[in-house]
Amino acid sequence: MLTFDALELTVFSQGVAMLAEEMGGLLERSSISPNIRERRDASCALFDAAGRMVAQAAHIPVHLGAMPESVAAVRAAGAQAGDVFLLNDPSHGGSHLPDLTMVEVIPHPHEPQRVIGYAAVRAHHADVGGISPGSMPFGATELYQEGIIVPPVRIEVQGMPNRDVLALVLANVRTPAEREGDLSAQRAACAAGRRGWQALFLRMGETMLQSAVDALLDYTERRVRARLALLDGAAGLAADALEGDGVSDAPIPVVIAAAVRGATLHLDLTGTSPAVRGNVNAPPAVVRAAAVFVLRVLCDDDVPVNDGVARALHLVIPDDCVANAKRPSAVAAGNVELSQRLTDVCFAALASAAASVGVHDLVIPACGQGTMNNITLGAPGWSFYETLGGGQGASRRGPGPDAVHVGMSNTRNTPVESLERAYPLRVVEYAVRRGSGGAGQHHGGDGVVRRYQTLVPCTATLLTERRKVAPPGAHGGHAGAPGRNTLNGESLPAKTRVTMNAGDVLTLETPGGGGWGVVPA
């Protein structure tokens, strides 16, 4: 096996990551829907022939941490060089149905029957069918109500398009032209990844490329385990809850025990709620994504993100658990809301574990807004979806940022000009929610206020959190302000579906982040 020094590994790591970034740039420039083109609600990654993630673009954590399971599902389906797969099935590495994942099986440049890697793109589509526009339904109790379920199926067979599968998918959505355009953009992004990986293969040669991949993943694992070794013997427990599942308002407990043994982070979800009737359930791939994100945050900024991170993780997820969804459990909100609570509780459990061994200098933030503030507006012929930023929690490093997506989200808010051009909507107000961040030695970030006025009758679906229980502070810092939803000034629940008439105004005030440290006297 070839060896590489630190400089050579850094150059290789940055080069492969840039290939993934180029995939993402092409996707954004080519897509049709504002959700992908403007909000960047999509992720790109490259995998080697063994299905190991080698590099990812700095996109959406909840996508990227789950995508290795989608690639594994494609490999299990008998993938051949030149095939292109489409899937969203939560039982095959999908996160929720609107997130359609495309995987291209990369052939050897000169031996087209040999597989040398995989290019994968996951993108949130603004509608994939189901009982309500936007496919993020309130009150769904079965996966079948949330949209079309796509197991790993070939949309290209060894380079030849399978148009029948695409026709089947498009026949089950409300906005087929937009969906076809976004899928074409995903296809172009996968092709860019394939060309880049093949060029790297030709430049380096098979032996050197494989050795570089092995060395890079081993290096990442060493860096992660070195950080965990500082916490050897640590153990901590944390708990929080979701504010109902859309069917019931009863709290849904999330419990995580964290322990570090042998430079491995063990996370045990025993005590977490069983599966629920509503759609805040999530598949294990989402738990993996949250755990990988939290572990990566603990490490230095220069640690590459690849499969080496997950090698230092051991997860225990009870079989009957809200975070271990089995068909036909509904999962639309689990991907976006349960994932955020899992992140919050993971951080809290790690903070407790670190304190148990006298380590107090880890940069673990107070809770951020703890929700993606999902909003869907739609009527026949159009469907608009976005998530909204809020306050990030403060940390020992300083105040939390204002008006940003936190935790498992890394999207943008839709630009007002783009939104108003594409949909019969007007944004009456878009502002920072001043004073919503928690006080402390370091102030939590402020949330946002966003008011939407519809110009035509439509339905609105909200899947939000932290409307009752505020994001807590840390080390004596105060909690951030909880969020608030209103229609024409009248309060709405955290999760709801309402009919809007022309001229009605829907307002979301997103939560602030928790403060860190005692308020100075």
The pTM score is 0.95
Q: What is the DSSP string of 217-234?
A: HHHHHHHHHHHHHTTTT-
What share of the chain has pLDDT > 90, as a percent? 92
Of residues 244, 240, 245, the one with CA closest to residue 256: 240
Contacts of 423 (CB under 8 A, 6+ apart): 377, 382, 384
Residue 473: predicted pLDDT: 97
Task: State whether residue 507 is helix, strand or coil.
Answer: strand
- Residues linked to residue 100 through DSSP beta bridges, in sequence order: 123
| Residues with Cβ within 8 Å of residue 417, at least 6 apart in sequence | none
Q: Is residue 336 part of a domain?
A: no
C-alpha neighbours within 13 Å on the C-beta side of residue 103: 38
Ramachandran region of residue 233, left (φ > 0), alpha (ψ -120 to 50) or beta? Answer: left
436: helix, strand or coil? coil
Kindly state whether residue 346 falls inside one of the protein's structural domains. Answer: no
Count of helices and strands (H, E) across the chain: 12, 20
- Nearest of 300, 308, 301, 270 to residue 287 by alpha carbon: 270
Write the DSSP assignment of 47-111 as a string of letters. EETTS-EEEE-S--HHHHTTHHHHHHHHHHTT--TT-EEEE--GGGT-SSTTEEEEEEEEEPSS-
Instruction: Compute, in degrees rounded to 10, the torsion defined by CA atoms 32, 33, 34, 36.
Output: -90
**Structure-token pair, residue 317:** 């997820």
Alpha-carbon span 379 to 54, nearest angstrom: 41
Decide if 431 contacts 404 (C-beta within 8 A): no
Does a structural domain hold residue 334? no
Q: Taking Cα atoms as reference points, which of 256, 254, 232, 255 lies closest to residue 312?
A: 232
- C-alpha span between 56 and 216 (Å, rounded): 13
Q: What is the pLDDT of residue 1?
A: 64
| Boundaries of domain holding 471 | 365-521
Q: Nearest 5 degrees, angle CA 373-CA 25-CA 9?
A: 105
Q: How far apart are CA 283 and CA 96, in angstroms?
A: 9
* CA pair distance 496, 509, nearest whole angstrom: 15
For residue 429, is it within any domain? yes
Sign of CA dihedral 405, 411, 416, 419: negative
How far apart are alpha carbons 75 and 302 in whole angstroms? 31
Rounded distance between C-alpha atoms, residue 16 and residue 44, angstroms: 12
**What is the CA 83 to chain-centroid distance, rounded?**
26
350: in domain: no
CB-CB neighbours of 348 under 10 Å? 22
Q: What is the torsion angle, in degrees rounded to the nearest 10, for the CA atoms of residue 375, residue 379, residue 382 and residue 384?
A: -10
Residues across the chain: 521
Amino acid at 450: R
Phi, psi of 461, deg, nearest 5: -120, 130
Which one-letter amino acid corresponds to residue 65? G
3-state helix/strand/coil string of 438-459: CCCCECCCCEEEEEEEECCCEE
pLDDT reported for residue 146:
98
**Could you give the CA distance from residue 252 to residue 67 in angstroms, rounded to a whole number?**
26
> Strand, coil or helix: what is 406?
coil
Domain boundary among 190, 220, 250: 220
Phi, psi of 94 (to 5 degrees): -75, 160
Q: What is the pLDDT along the chain (521 residues), one digit of tens a residue?
A: 688 888 899 999 999 999 999 999 999 999 999 999 999 999 999 999 999 999 998 778 888 778 999 999 999 999 999 999 999 999 999 999 999 999 999 999 999 999 999 999 999 999 999 999 999 999 999 999 999 999 999 999 999 999 999 999 999 999 999 999 999 999 999 999 999 999 999 999 999 999 999 999 999 999 999 999 999 999 999 999 999 999 999 999 999 999 999 999 999 999 999 999 999 999 999 999 999 999 999 999 889 999 999 999 999 999 999 999 999 999 999 999 999 999 999 999 999 999 999 988 888 999 999 999 999 999 999 999 999 999 999 999 999 999 999 888 888 889 999 999 999 999 999 999 999 999 999 999 999 999 999 999 999 999 999 999 999 999 999 999 999 999 999 999 999 999 999 999 999 999 999 999 999 88
In a domain, 243, yes or no: no
Residue 92 to residue 236: CA distance in whole angstroms: 32
Whole-angstrom distance, CA of residue 404 vs CA of residue 410: 8
Which of 220, 250, 279 terminates a domain? The answer is: 220
CA distance 343 to 351: 12
Cα 193 from Cα 322, distance rounded (Å): 35
Answer yes or no: is 313 within a domain: no
Nearest to 495, CA basis, from 218, 247, 214, 196: 247
- Quickly tell me which residue has 């051009």 as its tokens: 421
Instruction: Say if 321 falls within a structural domain.
Output: no
Domain boundary residue, one of 220, 246, 272: 220
Whole-number Å distance between alpha carbons of 420 and 83: 39
CA distance 113 to 111: 6
Q: How many domains does the chain have?
A: 2
